[in-house]
Each structure stands twice: as structure tokens, then as C-alpha cells.
Structure 1
Amino acid sequence: MGIGAGVGVAAAGGIALTANASGTGGTSGSTSSDALVFDKDDYTELTETIADAAGTDHEVVYHFYKPRDYVTVPSDDTHQSLVVSVPVKIDGKAVDARNAPIVLANAVGAYMPSSVAEATGVGQAALEMGDLMTGGGGTGGVNGMVNLAKLALVAGYVAVEPGTRGRSLADSSGAHYGMAPAVIVDLKAAVRYVKFNKGRIPGNTDRVVSTGTSAGGAVSALLGASGDSPRYDKYLKAVGAADASDAIFATGAWCPITDLEHADGAYEFNWGALVTQSTGKAVDQTVSKALQSQFAEYQASLKLKGLNGFGTLTARNYDQYLLETYLQPSATTCLAALSESERTAYLAKNTFLTWSGGKATFTWDDYLTHVAKRKKTAPAFDAFDLSAGENNEFGTATTKARHFTAYSLKNDTTGVTGKRLESDLPELLDLMNPMYFLGKRNSGRSRHWWIRLGTSDTDTSHVISANLAAAAHHLGDDVSHEFYWDQGHATNADPGDFLTWVAKVCGYRR
């Protein structure tokens, strides 16, 4: 099917709302057909040497299932397909993967498209960066992120890598079709494909674990929070998704950039005291303070309680919460792992930090001085000049970028004349926000959460992942949320621990 073929009537974000596939929908109104039946015999047996999370090489024999569409009405030939890799032997020992967890490893970054169309083996999902606002060629990894598809395979799990649409995509007429909520619709459709093929696709389809980083971490968290929500039904029907559940068992999210309509305020709360960007540009303090006030109101409205009995999280105590719950423990873990001479040298260089009784302590202000500079301007996500990637993500088929907060619309510098946000945006913002679904106590959500980010990551606010963890914890979910000391954006410093956690929560033994 060529680009734009059979897509139907374009709606917000360029998403089609009229499917033309054969077949009838189930309770969700999605489409399933023979085209979505997984052929378990259509594989190539490959042998690769793959390093595990500890760096030890292993000979892995696996079955590789070439790219196949996971919907019956794909928007193009490149993005809405997935590949499957199933371990057969590891170091000569047979592996029975019939009950293994299925790791759904997305390659999303910056809400751009990703593809497995050219994949000839495991771990080859490609993030298509190109020109971040206009699209184009070029592929690359997610800021050096470890390859969880390969690590899952060498651990004996089944690896599924889905391609997804993204904000740079346009058809031959110039109409955009990869903006919100395309990426989450695609991931849900991929999960539905996997579950629709229970008994045919290798692995335990009741133990799907999602992974992703940055924007990929955001949509991984969203996939976990929004499982089986009927709010996506019309979009899933439009693409011809399988008639099956899209709920996942566990969620892995690294530095998730999410809760976008509140992300500007959260960013200024976290980094507002850093008045200079990494580029050397000064940050408008009037804007920063206004956004901090917005954050205080939003945080109060959540009525979230922190982990470890901290109490209700507010703008007044959140810095102390981050210090006690994440930052100081992260520094402690890092310093405790050093040799005595290495630790002595680090402490001599970083005198703001006190090491006593095997614990690291410091103040919030000293921590910010240690980080020194922020990456983004104010606002960080809904830019006044519509230049942020998130402005593009909330565009439409015919509008490249839009404001999605009232504050930035009011302060627009591009000549936008509207006084109110466009009417479709409230729904799109909900559909892209895991906090919305956690706030609604969505019954189909993941019950297991692994969330990580670096303490020096100024691409986002620490509040975003901490709120996500607190919201899931408040619902009684199993939450593992930690920070990596002195690490930046897209870091994954403990992939081995993650894979062990997957086996534990899934109840899997090889």
C-alpha cells in the first residue's frame, strides 16, 4: 500500500478516522482479518554473538521474523510494521521461549517516526531523525541508549520491535499523518497484534513488557497507563488494528518526557534557578516565574502523596522530596560503588557534597549549582515561536505546529491570532498523557513500573517522572523509580537489573 492509500478522512494530527479494511470489529470496534494472522513458520534462523548486560559475549541462535504489518490499513509501507526475534539456543543450550516475557522495545525519540522496514536481524529498529521539523532522511539510535531488544534476546526473552509513525511524516500532497496521537495508536495496535496471535506468536502474550526512552519513554508509560481505554477506539479502527486487548503487563520508561501540557511549569520549577542555557543564552525570568506559578497550582490539584510516607507533594516541598527520595540516594549509591581513592578524589572535586556514615547529603541549591546549566529555554515545550518539537507533535494534517497551552498561545510570537486553543486539543492532550489515565484509575493499566533518569538530565524535569511514579504508587502498583547520579539524558545504567526485574514480576524462570 502506498503512502496515503486507503487512509480515509484526515482528522486532527493527520490521523485517518475512516477505515476501508475488510473484517468486522470486536468490542473495541477495531478490525481484524486473515492479514493479521502471524505465520509462526515464516522465519529465518540466525546466529549472532551478542553481549549481555554485563558485557559478556554469548552465541545466540534465534528465529527472526521479518517485518510484517500489524494493522490492515497502514498509512505507508514503512512504519506500521514490526519484527519478532525468538531465542532458540544460547551458548549451545536450547531455549524454550514459549512462556518467555515479550519485550516490546520501541525506538521512538523526539516523537519522530521509527521503522523496522530494513531490519534483517534483532535490534535494528531505526529512529528517523532527519530535519526535526520537516522530516527527511537519516536514521540513528536514541542518544546512545542501550539496545534492549538485543539484551532481551540474549536473556532468553522474546523481542518485538515495532515501527511507528511520527510527526515528520507527510504524504505526496503534503498532508501530515504522523502527529498525535499516531505514535500511541501504533504501539497499541502492535500490542493488539501480539495478543491477537496468542498461541501463534512465540512467548507469553500475557506478559508484554514495554520499553522506551525520552519520548519513547513517554509513550511506553502512556501505553502502560492507558491499556484498553475505549478513548482510542476510533483511531484503532481507522488503522485496522486487531480485535484484541492492548493492555500490557509491565512498563519500562527511561527519562519519559510526558505530561506535556504541564511540562513547561515543571521544567521551570526544576531548573528555573539556572538562568543560563547550555548555549549561553539567558532565560527570560518573567516567563520562568509565571510558569513556576502555574506548576504550583497544577501540583496542588493532583493531591499526590510521595513515596516512603513523604506526604502530599507541593511546590513548597518538592525539592526536599527529590533530595530525600532520589537525589541523595542516587549519589550515595554512586559513591559507595567507588574505590576509596576514587571516592576521595570525587569528594575533593565536588565539595558541595558531604559523605558521612556511608551516605551522601547536600542541599537543593548546591545540587543546582553542580548541574550548572539547563538545556532548554522558557517555555521549554510549547515555544512562543512554535519551534519546539512538541508544537509539531500537536500539529494537524494541514498545520505544521500549534500551541497546546493557553499561556503560550497568549504569548505567541508568530502571528497566531486565535484567543483560545483549538477545540480538538483537549482530547489529544488526554490521549498523550499517562497522568490522565492514572488519574482516572484506568483498570487496564500496567501494574508494574520501572522508571529511570539521570540527575543531570535537563531535557526534562525530574518532577515529571516523580509524579508518574507517585501516581502509579498511589494506585497500589509496583513501582521501581530511581535516578542515575551525574548521568544525562537517555541513560540506562542498570539494564541487567531491569531484565532481572522483568523475570521477577513476570514470574519467569528459564
Structure 2
Amino acid sequence: MGIGATAGAAAVGGLALSANASDASGTPSDALVFDKDAYTELTTTVTDAAGNDKEVVYHFWKALTYVADPVDAKYQSLNVSVPVRIDGVAVNAKDAPVLLANSVGGYLPSSVADATGVGGGGTAGLPAGGASASPGATASSGGGTGEVQSGGNAMLNGRGETVDLAKPALAAGYVVVEPGARGRTLTDADGTYYGTAPAAIVDLKAAVRYVRANKGVIPGDTDRIVSTGTSAGGALSALLGASGDSRAYDSRLDELGAADASDAVFAVGAWCPITDLEHADGAYEWNWGGNVTQSTGEVVDQKVSKELRAQFAEYQASLKLRGLKGFGPLTARNYDEYLVKTYLQPSATAYLAGLSDVDRAAYLADNTFITWSGGRATFSWADFLTHVGARKKSAPAFDAFDLSSGENNEFGKDKTQARHFTAYGMKHDTTGVSGSRPDVDIPGKLDLMNPMHHLEKANPGRSRHWWIRLGTKDSDTSLTVSANLAAALDGLGDDVDHLYYWDEGHGSNTDPGDFIAWIARVTRHGKRAGK
């Protein structure tokens, strides 16, 4: 039995835990049955996208363990919030979309156990460096020691204000599910890591299965689950959408006693996804390699940068992707042109068009690299890189030679805190690790953690609706990562809404109201209910 579980049954989150996820008929066991009456009624005030305050009365279910045999119930539990009155008007959320808002940051642990209401988001790691915070930024349970950083579901809008999608979703009449998940720094009393890859995605799949197994009992349309997340949480949201119902996770889900139900989600919202990790170093150098200085003032090793850029060119060619809007094949040679024409110039144009004449003139005077003509912004890729300035990360950005990155920790195993996950990182190791290639289990775990792997195979259980966002000044990752994700999805015929926020950094969300409206549109909420 895992941490937080005892032999037989244990009471966690108001549920009796048993050893089995379902009975012979496939019906959820008592451990995984949603108790519709075990809620607390709460009231919150939400400011919508138009700046109007709405009073929302909702029912709140706290810390429901979503697997029958948890490794650590503190993290493997979820909260449910269901609106019942909005501004005094009764709401029937029976057919409402379900927003599944994960609060993972930095691939660190996320727990909802201490949340006091919707949007509490629990505790999560969202360090300033994205997923690449040091392995020492720890969270613990079961005898370990460390720090849990506050993250929640929050992002930042263009005014530096916090955006939490859970509350506006609730105010729109949607059901909100906030799952916790294990993360890379969790250790038991013996020092064994139990939250490294692929624990987080397995947990989120188990949470989806719990919701779907309780169809007709848990409020909301469990066939219309919309997953959201930011940074590493954005990567996991994309992975959840890409890998729906993949059998590759079944044995791990069975070990947890996950419900016998689908783990496919209907739609995905992914903000600045830190993903495609085995190719992220090359992508980062292709994008930001021209900016030789980090924000710390350190000059990046140019030999390493050049070698990694060559890796990206080879990888990009192997994908055989075509750009959106008829651009044609995407290669390392034309990707700069693609980003400028398809994303960056339209992003700058939208930003400038939204300013007053006075503010636009002032911005253009400060940023003379932009040509503003006919209501359209144009500039070169080189000038854009100069505009962004110093890069956030060193080289390699993800598989650090000294095993110091959060991603190295994400691929730790047993009592080994951090491991290399690329042959290049292994070759240049500075810690004394022997061998020429990563450990034999690494390739399989990379497949389980990379949405591109599932999209290359055109997984039939994937989501068909995608909302993907990234800030143009986000040098926590490469701009090509989300663009490749969007191109792969578009090539499969999926509905893709992908854009970049001009002059915004990591964790930005400047159009939350549009996203809430997008959910209603793609799920046909209201129309399906005959409204």
C-alpha cells in the first residue's frame, strides 16, 4: 500500500478507500463513487472579463481521493465546485462543461487538500524559471522535508494581475474540477522518489477517469471535459489531450486502482507548455541561441549552442510538419519566417491596434524596429530577438550537464534524484555519471511524457479542440514548441486556436474571457441544453 493508505480501507477526503477500482460490472467501487450530498455551500464574488462583479453560490466538494489505492492521497485528490445560483438566479449545471484545471508548475507536486474554495488551486510549484528550477526546490510528504511553493491555477494578464480560470468558469455556469497530482520532488521516509515521470500524467488521467466513471452522479457533462494548465501544467494538459485512452498507461493506472472509465478529454487549454523535453534543448538554442547572454549576465557556451541547433534541424526535418494557413513544410531554415509571418507580426499588430493613437505612437517611438503601415506591424526575426533581449536559460536549457535542472529531477528514479534524459546531456555529463546513453527506461518514459509521440501516431482518443497560448517574450521555452504542437494537430484536422501574446512573458493569459467563451462554443453549451 502507498503513503496515506492502510491495509483494508482508509478514510480520505470523505471516501472509504478499498483495494479495487471497480466491481465485475465495471461500476466504480465504493471508494470511487461520488457522494453528491457531501458538499459545503459557499459564496464567492467573481469579476468577469467585462469588469462586472457576479455573486456565485456554489456547492464545494473537498479533497476527494480519485484512486482506490493512492500512493499519497494528499496529492491524489480533487476538489469539485458546482454553481447553483449566479446573481440570485438558479443554475442547473447538469449539462454544463467540466473545466479540469490542474495547478502543476515546474513538474512539482500539486495538492488541493488545503484549499478553502474554488480557485484555491491548492499548492503547486511554479518557480520563476519555469520547469527548470533546481531539483532542490522541493515539496515533501511521508517523512521527507522540503518546501511547497504556492502556484494554483493562476496566470497573469497584460496588466500584471492574477488570472484564475476556475472562478470565471464557475461564473459562466460551468462545473470546475481541480485535481492534485504527484510531482518530482516527493520522497518517502527512505528517500525514494515517488512523483517523478510519469506520475503526474498518470494521476491526471486517473482524475479524469474518476469524473467520467461518475457520469450522471457528479454534476456536469462528463463527456465535455476541458483540461487546462500552465507551464509544466500546460504540458500535462496537452499530453492529457493527446494521449486520451492510450493503453500505454493502463498498468500504472491499474496499480493505483483508477476507475475503469475513459481518460479522454474533450478539449484542451495549454498555456506556455514546457513539453517535448527530449528535443527542447535543440529547440531552445534554435530560437534563443542568437541571444548569447542570459538574464544573469552569463555568456552561453557557443559551441554547445551550435551543436544543439544542429540537433533541432535534424529533428524538425523528421517531423514532416506543414505550417498553418498553407505555409508549407516547416524546417529549421524557414521556421523564423513562419513564426514572424504567422504569429509574431499578427500578435504585434493586434497589440498596437488595441492602443490609443497616443500610446501607439509612444510605443513605436520606443521600438523603432517595427514598421507600422496600413494598420499592420512588420519587422525581422533578428530585430525581434534583439527586442526580447537576454535569454532566461543557459545551454543546455533542460538536460543540464550537471544534472541541476528540474527536468533532470523529473526523470529521477528510486533514490536517484536526477538523471540525464538525452544522449547529448549524458555525453557531456560533469557529475561523474558513467555511460554513453541514458538509462534503458528513459525512452519509454519520454514517450509517456510527450504529446508529440501520441500525435505522430494519430491517437484516435485525442482531443479535437485546442486552445494554445504563449508570450512572445517567454524564453523559458522555445516558441517552436507550441507551434509544432499546433502544426501537428492542424495536420490531423483538429480545431486549433493558437496565438502568441505580444510582449508577454512566462505564464501569461491576456484573453481569459475569450477562452471561457471558446469553451461554450466548442462544447455547444446552451445549444445542447436547448437554451
Could you tell me the TM-score, scaled by structure 2's length? Answer: 0.91
Residues 26-60 of structure 1, C-alpha deviations (whole Å, 9 max, x = no match): 89xx9942110001111111111121233321110
Q: Map of 1:207-222 to 2, 5 A cutoff?
A: 207-222=224-239
- Which amino acid in 2 is paired with 1:56? N
1:314 correspondence with 2:339: no
**Residue matched to 2:70:** 74
**Residue matched to 1:11:** none
**Residue matched to 1:14:** none
**Paired residues, what number?**
497
Indicate which of 446, 453, 456 corresponds to 1:436: 453
Q: Contact 1:206–1:248 at 8 Å: present in 2 too?
A: yes
**Residue matched to 2:172:** 155
Please state how far the C-alpha of 1:3 moved relative to its aligned partner.
2.1
**Residue matched to 1:331:** 348
**Residue matched to 1:287:** 304
Please state how far the C-alpha of 1:99 moved relative to its aligned partner.
0.6
1:97 correspondence with 2:107: no
**Residue matched to 1:228:** 245
CA separation in 2, counterparts of 1:148 and 1:455? 21
Q: Identify unmatched segments of 5+ residues in structure 2.
A: 8-16, 128-132, 139-145, 157-161
Distance 1:372 1:45, change over 3 A: same
CA separation in 1, counterparts of 2:6 and 2:314? 45
**Residue matched to 1:357:** 374
**Residue matched to 2:487:** 470
Indicate which of 271, 283, 286 corresponds to 1:269: 286
Distance 1:47 1:263, change over 3 A: same
Q: Map of 1:108-127 to 2, 5 A cutoff?
A: 108-127=104-123
Indicate which of 387, 392, 411 corresponds to 2:409: 392
**Residue matched to 1:137:** 147
Local SS of the residue matching 2:123: strand
Local SS of the residue matching 1:49: strand
Indicate which of 517, 527, 530 corresponds to 1:500: 517
Residues 179-238 of structure 1, C-alpha deviations (whole Å, 9 max, x = no match): 000000000000000000000000000000000000000000000000000000011001
Indicate which of 195, 208, 222 corresponds to 1:191: 208
Indicate which of 62, 68, 85 corresponds to 2:81: 85
Residues 322-379 of structure 1, C-alpha deviations (whole Å, 9 max, x = no match): 0000000000000000000100000000000000011000000000000011000000
Indicate which of 42, 57, 60 corresponds to 2:56: 60
Q: Identify unmatched segments of 5+ residues in structure 1.
A: 8-18
CA separation in 2, counterparts of 1:262 and 1:472? 18
Please state how far the C-alpha of 1:128 moved relative to its aligned partner.
3.4
CA separation in 2, counterparts of 1:128 and 1:492? 18
Indicate which of 483, 487, 497 corresponds to 2:504: 487
**Residue matched to 1:22:** 20
Please state how far the C-alpha of 1:420 moved relative to its aligned partner.
1.9
- Which amino acid in 2 is paired with 1:163? G
Q: Contact 2:184–2:194 at 8 Å: present in 1 too?
A: yes
- Which amino acid in 2 is paired with 1:177? Y
CA separation in 2, counterparts of 1:66 and 1:275? 48
Residues 67-113 of structure 1, C-alpha deviations (whole Å, 9 max, x = no match): 11000111123100000000011111111111100000000000000
CA separation in 2, counterparts of 1:255 and 1:22? 37
1:3 correspondence with 2:3: yes
Q: Contact 1:6–1:20 at 8 Å: present in 2 too?
A: no
Local SS of the residue matching 2:325: helix
Q: Contact 1:225–1:438 at 8 Å: present in 2 too?
A: yes
Q: Contact 2:4–2:74 at 8 Å: present in 1 too?
A: no
Please state how far the C-alpha of 1:306 moved relative to its aligned partner.
0.3
Please state how far the C-alpha of 1:163 moved relative to its aligned partner.
0.5
- Which amino acid in 2 is paired with 1:76? D
Residues 106-142 of structure 1, C-alpha deviations (whole Å, 9 max, x = no match): 0000000011101221011223339952422343125
Q: Contact 2:46–2:53 at 8 Å: present in 1 too?
A: yes
Q: Contact 1:271–1:458 at 8 Å: present in 2 too?
A: yes
Local SS of the residue matching 1:480: strand
**Residue matched to 2:195:** 178
- Which amino acid in 2 is paired with 1:162? P
**Residue matched to 1:427:** 444
Q: Contact 2:155–2:164 at 8 Å: present in 1 too?
A: no
Q: Contact 1:32–1:241 at 8 Å: present in 2 too?
A: no
Local SS of the residue matching 1:269: helix
Indicate which of 419, 439, 457 corresponds to 1:402: 419
CA separation in 2, counterparts of 1:4 and 1:385? 34
CA separation in 2, counterparts of 1:26 and 1:236? 17
CA separation in 2, counterparts of 1:321 and 1:219? 26
- Which amino acid in 1 is paired with 2:511? D
Distance 1:118 1:47, change over 3 A: same
Please state how far the C-alpha of 1:250 moved relative to its aligned partner.
0.2
Superposed CA RMSD: 1.8
Structure 1 moving runs of 4+ over 4 Å: 4-7, 23-27, 142-145
- Which amino acid in 2 is paired with 1:401? A
Q: Contact 1:304–1:471 at 8 Å: present in 2 too?
A: yes
CA separation in 1, counterparts of 2:376 and 2:520? 30
- Which amino acid in 2 is paired with 1:140? S
Please state how far the C-alpha of 1:2 moved relative to its aligned partner.
6.9
- Which amino acid in 2 is paired with 1:301? S
Q: Contact 2:112–2:123 at 8 Å: present in 1 too?
A: no
CA separation in 1, counterparts of 2:51 and 2:409? 39
The sequence identity of aligned pairs, in percent, is: 67
Local SS of the residue matching 1:75: coil
Q: Contact 2:21–2:68 at 8 Å: present in 1 too?
A: no
Local SS of the residue matching 2:218: coil
Q: Contact 1:126–1:139 at 8 Å: present in 2 too?
A: no
**Residue matched to 2:262:** 245
Please state how far the C-alpha of 1:62 moved relative to its aligned partner.
0.5
**Residue matched to 2:14:** none
CA separation in 1, counterparts of 2:287 and 2:297? 19
Q: Contact 2:313–2:332 at 8 Å: present in 1 too?
A: yes
